[in-house]
Amino acid sequence: MKSCIIETALGWLGLVLAPAGLRAVTLPRRDRDAALREVLVVGACEEARADELGDLPERLRRYARGEPVAFPDALDIAAATPFQRVIWQAARGIPYGQTRSYGWLAAKAGKPQAARAVGQALAANPWPIIVPCHRVIASDGRLGGYGGGLDMKERLLRLEGAAGHR
């Protein structure tokens, strides 16, 4: 696997590329070394060439500046369970600047009582921002959880101008 560390307005991001697609994106970190440590944990041992990532680094920088950006990139989902795949795909469909509830995602997966399992699937999401799990909140408007902490979730929602999070 190969990696690339990029600086954005949100912080340093690590990208991990596998032959089947993007394997992981780290949450924003304060310094390059912290992002590098995370990509090494995922198993990236070689630096990716710029052409291997296409314009993904620039799109992530634009996103971090508050621009609506699409992320149609191929993801390496080989290690995901079928339920995670359904949840992550549904989360990818949540439009920029909007939120959906854990229950909404559970219903999309055909398991309307599985909101808690949705939270667990989102907690295992290796592509924050690309699979925008920060856009998933509790049905009563509370933020719920987030691997990067609630401050980061709130920051991403404010960046996108999500209703109720300005």
158 has pLDDT over 90: yes
For 116, the token pair is 């808690």
| 64, 80, 133, 136: the active-site residue | 133
Nearest 5°: CA angle at 2, between 95 and 61? 40
146 has pLDDT over 50: yes
| 133 in catalytic set | yes
Mean pLDDT in the chain? 93
pLDDT in tens, 59-98: 999 999 999 999 999 999 999 999 999 999 999 999 999 9
Distance CA 17, CA 20 (A): 8
Instruction: Name the band, by pLDDT with cuts 50, 70 and 90, for residue 46.
Output: confident
